[in-house]
Structure 1
């Protein structure tokens, strides 16, 4: 019933806010046209209201899962109209706020204090930002070892949000299970993808986990000239509130302000790509929610020696991605092969990694990939979109039974974010050439003598610990080899015994069936007044029952 009411709410929002007007008329499916025609009487917002504004309000109305979709779309200025992009950008930090009284109640309850001034020197009731999951307020704290109060922000989870998220996720699972029953659905692994998304978005509700993620990312970039992560105060952070150093920066989407302060936008765009690939391939731990509301650029002054080279500032660590070593290796080699247009290597890697079944013809797969990628790569740089390549590859891979990899979905989404941000800063950004030297160096480090030496050095303590066990392991291995003929004979005997038992089981099952049919025929056509027929029924029934019991004992 809960799912049904949610479906009706989505239909209501779709109709009320006239979202169908965003779809080109020639692309509206017949069933949707029929629904719109039948519901002509349904109350709707005014026709004078802008469609882009309607979409933003509708996404806000539907809740966090839908707002996240709008945030991702807002970075793709190359795919959306300017009006739509501007409106969706408001979803990054201008969602409708909730009452300050609820914020204060949550903070006091989480920190076990009676009033806000027990911990915070100052608290700003007007929120700095209001996002899909949480609301952010400015404050100041006085630490014992500091002479002046420190400016911080307090992030507070929206009340009663978990129920709404779980409701939408359950609806997505319902559709995913329906899709999984269709032809070739196993390749999409829809249920796994939704489960992975559920885990990711529910992790966002745990600010204690976000604090841990932020501390880890700050440690990874402690000495970086490219990225700054604000200090987090874990002692003041709980599952529902996060206290973090307040930063002052320029939103990465505000190119006018960046140009005004003299920032080199081309350099910024290229460094942003480098920061992302460093997180993925060096640390195996990357920020997976890189929409413009979470990324800022340091404010600089003309007399600052780092004036032309400001750092990125990252916030909001609720969604973080990880990759295992195997996926990371295959991914890096795939990227390098793409950059070098070595499509045969791309096809081979897809098979080797298990992303595409081994029976697929590699040469045919290479030709299909080339047909997709070559026309795209031959375009001018500002017309090449990773999104186009990705969509094209998915369409091609579908023909070759490629399965969706749930562990890579976050990475793909984040890479689209990164390209969108880079293109906002510098439309001629060549994502491929910017990333290629970094990835080639990384692959070289993983495969050369240095990689062997590094791996040996890391594993040396383990090898030394296990060294005394080597003679025993060798003795055990040789004993096993010596006993192989005997083990083989025992396995053959076990197999023959199983075969014998299986034949006995089939015989008993056959006797049960025959006995049942015989008893049924006697009852239907025999003269049950006769003693002989009664005796025949009794014998047939007894044999049937005995064998039925034996069969039941074996299969229970």
Structure 2
């Protein structure tokens, strides 16, 4: 099957003229003759398609190859360190519009998962899906207690397709590392592995349900974000049942205005939600495109975001959070020296990097964009220039931050739609300053005491016993060491006695030999 898939990929690539794109990045010429051979076999090609810009041809090829390649193209569009600007811009246009699979297949998956007929599980079930994506689709239903729910069903037979496509993507990434001068530094195979890991997570709807439940708990007391409740009795690895959410898609700006939604407040709330997820929780929704976000128009939750689709989430360690906060805050304060120092301290830049040179390079990128509204700033171009700077200073791209970068670009897109005059810097700066105060200083010290207090309360009563045990063990070790030292000294004394005796014997033998000679 992999061979047939590879043949299809080669055929689509040649049809879209991707061989020319590959040859542009093969300075060694090692790929020239195989591509010319394939080109000779595929002698007829559409001249109009070949005349299109290379970004358009690449996007069309990925759309033709199917949803997994489309999804990879979406991820790749955020890696402007890997692609030229024109390719990244075109890949950003990819839309994951996948035709739904037959409702009978969805019902069969549900009945097999619960080992019961559909009418015993749900009081009503809408056969027509309301949404369809690459790995699953969603149907509305009603529980027997009257609760309205949304039922997500995994696409049948998708796992082996994904496995084969990921294997092929990894092979392409290997070629990229081998034939592109920047390949090893930019770690394309790690990008593929990161992509594969998140796709694997999406194939387990119990994991997605757990992600949803965690995000709901994180924002339970916040008046910013609504997250659906998960109904665990109706969830399996292939089926996820959650609360049905009612709202206006965030991309429908005219409907939001008609409903009286405050778009400026909504845009500021979006920035706060993003930074709260990243820096407070280290757990963030990493697929925040307009299709996954609604806005509530209900009186009880008016003007609040509604999050959907939790298959892709990102996580950050405490170290990542601290260094990111330092970098963001230093950017907002225009402290480019601190940005350079943080990159070196974190190991993202080589230890021998000159701080003043990296500081000057970052200043040249960031200084022109301050004090300007979002409509006048292109984060894509800023990121591209930062990546060009990183290449110059051999800064390693951190694979765990790819999802964060993708999410930040999504936030930028939403912000442009809702409020083009939004000042992202001034909106985010107070939040980061507050977060930093909670992490360092007296407030941070008190927070750490509160966090560690229960563990200390458990350990304190045991301290005398533990100290006595440690002293007893130390005394025993000292006694054993003293005994061993005495033994070694005795062995040394015996060795000296034997040496002296051997010397006396030797002298006696020499004396006897002398008398005999005389």
Residue 398 (structure 1) aligned with residue 391 (structure 2): yes
Q: Does the aligned pair in 1 maintain the 2:374–2:416 contact within 8 Å? A: no
Query: For residue 159 of structure 1, what is the aligned residue in structure 2?
Result: 156
Q: CA RMSD in A?
A: 3.9
Q: Residue 404 of structure 1: CA displacement?
A: 1.7
1:37-56 aligned at under 5 Å gives the runs 41-42=43-44
Matches within 5 A, 1:334-353: 334-353=327-346
Does residue 330 (structure 1) correspond to residue 299 (structure 2)? The answer is no
Q: Is the 8 A contact 2:122 2:142 kept in 1?
A: yes
Residues 427-458 of structure 1 deviation map (CA, whole Å, 9 limit, x = unaligned)? 22222222111111101110020110121232
- Retained in 2: the 8 A contact 1:71–1:291? no
In 2, the alpha carbon distance for the partners of 1:189 and 1:157 equals: 31
Q: Does 1:433 align with 2:426?
A: yes
Q: How many residues align?
A: 465
Partner deviation per Cα, 1:317-372 (whole Å, 9 max, x = no partner): 11111111111011011001011111100000011111112111111111111122
**What is the alpha-carbon distance in structure 1 between the residues aligned to residue 420 and residue 59 of structure 2?**
25
Match of 1:8 in 2: 7
C-alpha distance in 2, partners of 1:55/1:401?
Answer: 28
Query: How much does 1:101 deviate?
Result: 1.3
SS of the residue corresponding to residue 348 of structure 1 reads helix
Q: 2: CA distance between counterparts of 1:80 and 1:142?
A: 53
Determine the C-alpha separation between the residues in 1 that align with 2:138 and 2:41: 40
Q: Is 1:471 aligned to 2:467, yes or no?
A: yes
CA distance in 1, matches of 2:234, 2:272: 33
Counterpart selection for 2:136 from 134, 137, 140: 134
Change (3 A) 1:74 1:401: closer
CA 1:179–1:14 in structure 2 vs 1: closer, same or farther (change >3 Å)?
closer
Q: How does 1:261-280 map to 2 (within 5 A)?
A: 261-280=259-278
Partner of 1:359: 352
TM-score (norm. length: structure 2): 0.78
Distance apart, 1:196 and its partner CA: 2.1
CA distance in 1, matches of 2:475, 2:257: 75
Q: Displacement, 1:20?
A: 9.9
Contact 1:126 1:137 in 2 (8 A): yes
Distance in 2 (CA, whole Å) between partners of 1:299 and 1:330 is: 38
Superposed CA offset, 1:465-493 (max 9, x none): 4444463587599889999x99xx9xxxx
The question of 1:311 aligning with 2:304 is answered yes
For 1:355 and 1:370, the matched residues in 2 are separated by 18
The question of 1:99 aligning with 2:102 is answered yes
Partner of 1:150: 147
CA distance in 2 between partners of 1:263 and 1:85 (Å) = 31
Give the structure 1 partner of residue 127 of structure 2: 125
Moved more, 451-460 or 172-181: 172-181
Q: CA deviation at 1:281?
A: 1.2
Tell me how far 1:409 sits from its aligned partner. Answer: 1.3
Match of residue 116 from structure 2:
113
Q: Deviations over 1:243-291 (max 9, x none)?
A: 1111221111111211221212121111111111111111111101111
Distance 1:71 1:187 in 2: 21
3-state secondary structure, aligned to 1:139: strand
Q: What SS does structure 2 have at the residue aligned with 1:321?
A: strand
CA shift for structure 1 position 177: 3.2
1:190-269 equivalent positions in 2, closer than 5 A: 190-269=188-267
What is aligned with 1:494?
none
1:219 aligns to what SS in structure 2? helix
- CA distance in structure 2 between the aligned counterparts of 1:369 and 1:53, rounded to whole angstroms: 32
| TM value normalised by structure 1 | 0.73
Q: 1:63: which partner in 2?
A: 66
Structure 2 residue ranges without an equivalent (≥5): 80-84, 486-518
Shift of 1:180: 4.2
CA deviation vs aligned residue, 1:150-204 (integer Å, no higher than 9, x gap) = 2211111111111221222212222333444565654323333322221111100
SS of the residue 1:360 aligns to: coil
* Separation (CA, whole Å) in 2 of partners of 1:441 and 1:369: 25
Unaligned runs of 5+ in 1: 144-148, 490-556
What's the CA shift for 1:395? Answer: 1.5
Select 1:171's aligned residue among 165, 168, 171: 168
For residues 20-42 of structure 1, give each alpha carbon's deviation from its aligned partner in whole angstroms, at most 9, with x where no partner exists.
99x9xx9999999x979868853
User: Residue in 1 aligned with 2:504?
Assistant: none
Q: Give the Cα–Cα distance (whole angstroms) in 2 for the partners of residues 481 and 365 of structure 1.
A: 53
Aligned mates of 1:412, 1:368 — CA distance in 2: 20
